Structure 1
């Protein structure tokens, strides 16, 4: 009998079911969570392998029975009368058509896949599975990378990211899904790009059909203002699927729109041959002092992320690298390596200020506490998630571990500032295309609810530790300064957010560029102004020429 197909259940599956714990959703927001998906995929592959093996066993059994029946049937067909005269043959024929065929029929109708589909249902309660939100987040991340780093759709589809070719390529179905996700977001420009790429990659064995692609492509083309081309695509779609109701309705609508447009064109005296293309490109608001720069912040941000911007030569000429002890006795033995990045505002990088062992300890402490990173609503002061910040974060106190306490003391030694009113150490891990769009670390005047639960006043300074190298992308950029800081494991960036007057320094507006390839871990220490009055006193003269 075919007992294998009824008894198959991998020991590995049993072990995983009894030892693996489930973790929450939003895995796209941190690469540390994405790692668990490979375990999930491994279990599913084993489960699918078991299902295929059971199906093959069943088919092999049925082939064997069919061969036996055919052989006996051919023997009987040579001399039917003589064959049936033998009582054993008569009995066996009767048995084959009763008991044997009932068993064969049972095997044919039994759902051999039930056990394995039930396994998948059980896995969903135990293992880490991505959600539809994760799929949308992953697709949006690719679009973000494509736009920020100026990558062509065809290059991304064939695995070329920011000039580096990787051994991976997308199928027509993969491109179609990205196009579908952008369509859901009403991002029709990208839908057109990715659906065209899906069309180019269509093959005979593709799951999706040309008509599927054309439906999305035609409507997106219409939404982008090109009615002529949308109508042509719809006509092609109707040739492939004449009964497509939505396409027939769209065809009628496009024809009416063209007719109205042509009538208006005739009244104006032109030929009506050109469609008006809608420009839905996105831009951030301009930088604080637009008179100093001829580019919008969005463009500066993208150029800085690509490494195509640098400060003026007269700014760079004033910078230096040196050792410093900050008048701390211990640092006289082991001075800090400091690299000046900008002088006004004051931005520096301290090199080799966090060891590998400290990094691993902090990451291990943070992992169980990681949650989707939030931003503060400037009107309500409440924390909320936002698409312009894709990462997960956790907060560590000094009492959590001696390493945390040591790092906080090191920050005090580095900066010379008091840690009494500083926030806890925040640990962040960026997800697929993880980023944080341009923002200020300090609270502006109109943000009256900022830090309402914190008694330390505004954020006077920021310390940002890089706990990993990043293979591609992931820079910290200051668009107004045309400056980019590239992640280097063990280094820490430091800058003042407030000027000596206590006013926010608007030139410190910064961003975390999307990570193209790599796993970016950072930790932040936000230092508040209360307690720094005698350490960094106000200047005697105003240091702001204007109010923002």
Structure 2
């Protein structure tokens, strides 16, 4: 898919939430294929939570066994020190061990305590070691690890990037995130980040050139360190944090012009003149304040920045549709679709944009279909494709043919609505999950055309409610759609004569917490060649 925005872009306990509370999906079965990244998939986060329960129980038992063993060892060494060492200390250090052994063997108390140590403490230590607590614990952990292994540093970095993405998009404060105060998180767990966590986020942001966020996290780290340094053992200190701040500022200033020209958003509106005192406004804030409300031509040098600024503003709840456009929009019940089905159960339709027409249809899928679809997708999710032709996104995907889901005849239902034949992608998003701005069609000039033809329509179905964030934005049209369980958004991705409809540029805002499940059906031109006629004029 075409992606006109190539600019760069938790530590947290993720709970799968529904509008009623915690969603219990039962034991998670993991596919044997390469799993989705742990930080990006609610499936694998829930799987890890399930497995960590086993690991914790094994480690807690191991901890207790080690404490018992340590107590035995300490009892043994203390008795040796208070009898053998103390009882022979009058000999001095120059006396050979053979003479010490002779004294011990002659002294009834020293000899008795030695025999007692062997028979009791030392014997208990030997029995405890023979129980092989390490191997028992190792076997339990290995079983919990499964075929995919536990998360690696790369997975932690994915999680950090998700947190930074959330923070950037919704202008969250690092200090609030560190204290566990995140807007939209429905459960207040009182769980916070440690100073080490904050430092790791800082260093990751610095490495990724997310300079505005890196400096903010370094500030939080320094404040935390000065407050808690006596309680926490860290591999850094106040001086090294100051040095990190100076290095980050120097890197920002040195690369500023190049990053600005490339459309990099994680910089300040101008170079930083001093390490102390207030810093300049961030470029993100300047973009949203000055460009989000503008309608610029594509040849304007600030065009793409203005579109992205509008995307950010839409993710934060703004709307840029004109009063005239809003006055045209309407809701209705439609019973005039294909066949007799909709006469009995009319479609509930809301028009969210008039030209091009984009509609949201409610109660498309019953709860039973949604539950079945999520259940079979749960163990089949894989990482979203990457590469030069893939739209940047953080989600896990699975594909289904109609014969794979006979209990969920979505294709037939969509055909009854649109009159077009379609082929289903299910996607799951965890915290920070998003999709960058893109078009669903590639247009007639695609160098690698699909044999089925270009995409004609997008039918985007929401499989759960999302209470906060996670909107689908259309920045060129100035509006966003809120995910509502069982509803679908329908739009044509190209014009009747084939070119991409540039107004349908869209993206998905990052999640803050919970999860988001969608199912998408695309229709293709060659499979529906007689069902959508070409326009009467070439410009259509």
Indicate the TM-score class for this superposition, using the shorter chain for normalisation.
Answer: 0.7 to 0.9
Distance 1:221 1:107, change over 3 A: farther
Partner Cα distance (2:136, 2:200) in 1: 27
Partner Cα distance (1:151, 1:212) in 2: 26
501, 505, 511: which is aligned to 1:515? 511
Question: What's the counterpart of residue 25 of structure 2?
Answer: none
Deviations 1:30-53 (A, max 9, x none): 112110111232122112211221
Q: Secondary structure at the match of 2:396?
A: strand
163, 166, 175: which is aligned to 1:142? 163
Question: What's the counterpart of residue 464 of structure 2?
Answer: 468
Of 429-438 and 22-31, more deviation after overlay is shown by 22-31
Partner Cα distance (1:212, 1:103) in 2: 49
- 8 Å CA contact retained: 1:345, 1:507: yes
Structure 1 residue 543, shift from structure 2 partner: 3.8
Distance 1:362 1:66, change over 3 A: same
Residue 206, structure 1, aligned to residue 206, structure 2: no
Partner Cα distance (1:70, 1:185) in 2: 55
- 8 Å CA contact retained: 1:54, 1:112: no
| Greater relative CO, 1 or 2 (CA 8 Å, sep 6+) | 2
Distance 1:158 1:343, change over 3 A: same
404, 407, 420: which is aligned to 1:403? 407
Question: What's the counterpart of residue 436 of structure 1?
Answer: 435
359, 378, 388: which is aligned to 2:370? 359
Partner Cα distance (1:159, 1:450) in 2: 47
Q: Secondary structure at the match of 1:196?
A: helix
Q: Secondary structure at the match of 1:144?
A: helix
Structure-to-structure mapping, 1:185-264, within 5 angstroms? 185-202=208-225, 203=228, 204-208=230-234, 209-210=236-237, 211-225=239-253
Structure-to-structure mapping, 1:409-424, within 5 angstroms? 409-417=412-420, 419=421, 422=422, 424=423
Structure-to-structure mapping, 1:305-344, within 5 angstroms? 305-325=315-335, 326-344=337-355
Partner Cα distance (1:377, 1:63) in 2: 61
Q: Secondary structure at the match of 2:456?
A: strand
161, 179, 183: which is aligned to 2:182? 161
Deviations 1:459-485 (A, max 9, x none): 111100000111321111100011101
Q: Secondary structure at the match of 2:480?
A: strand
Structure-to-structure mapping, 1:34-113, within 5 angstroms? 34-62=45-73, 89=109, 92-93=112-113, 95-96=115-116
Question: What's the counterpart of residue 257 of structure 1?
Answer: none
Distance 1:457 1:44, change over 3 A: same
Kindly name which structure, 1 or 2, has the bigger radius of gyration based on alpha carbons.
1
Of 118-127 and 519-528, more deviation after overlay is shown by 118-127
Q: Secondary structure at the match of 1:464?
A: strand
Distance 1:177 1:459, change over 3 A: same
Q: Secondary structure at the match of 2:459?
A: strand
Distance 1:375 1:180, change over 3 A: closer
- 8 Å CA contact retained: 1:40, 1:127: no
- 8 Å CA contact retained: 2:185, 2:513: no
Partner Cα distance (1:362, 1:20) in 2: 16
- 8 Å CA contact retained: 2:184, 2:468: no
Structure 1 residue 113, shift from structure 2 partner: 7.0
Question: What's the counterpart of residue 524 of structure 2?
Answer: 528
Partner Cα distance (1:344, 1:129) in 2: 49
In structure 2, runs of 5+ residues without a counterpart are 1-28, 89-103, 256-272
Structure 1 residue 65, shift from structure 2 partner: 5.3
115, 123, 134: which is aligned to 2:135? 115
Partner Cα distance (1:366, 1:164) in 2: 25
Deviations 1:73-115 (A, max 9, x none): 9xx99xxxxxx99997575245257766865887999998743
Residue 369, structure 1, aligned to residue 380, structure 2: yes
Partner Cα distance (1:195, 1:274) in 2: 16
Structure 1 residue 206, shift from structure 2 partner: 1.7
Residue 499, structure 1, aligned to residue 495, structure 2: yes
- 8 Å CA contact retained: 1:288, 1:506: no
- 8 Å CA contact retained: 1:460, 1:527: yes
Distance 1:542 1:70, change over 3 A: closer
Over aligned residue pairs, what C-alpha RMSD do you find?
A: 4.0
What is the aligned residue count? 460
- 8 Å CA contact retained: 1:500, 1:543: no
Partner Cα distance (2:210, 2:363) in 1: 43
- TM-score norm. by structure 2 comes to 0.74
- TM-score norm. by structure 1 comes to 0.73
- 8 Å CA contact retained: 2:51, 2:145: no
- 8 Å CA contact retained: 1:158, 1:170: yes
- 8 Å CA contact retained: 2:473, 2:481: yes
In structure 1, runs of 5+ residues without a counterpart are 1-18, 78-83, 228-272, 379-383
Partner Cα distance (1:172, 1:98) in 2: 46
- 8 Å CA contact retained: 1:172, 1:198: yes
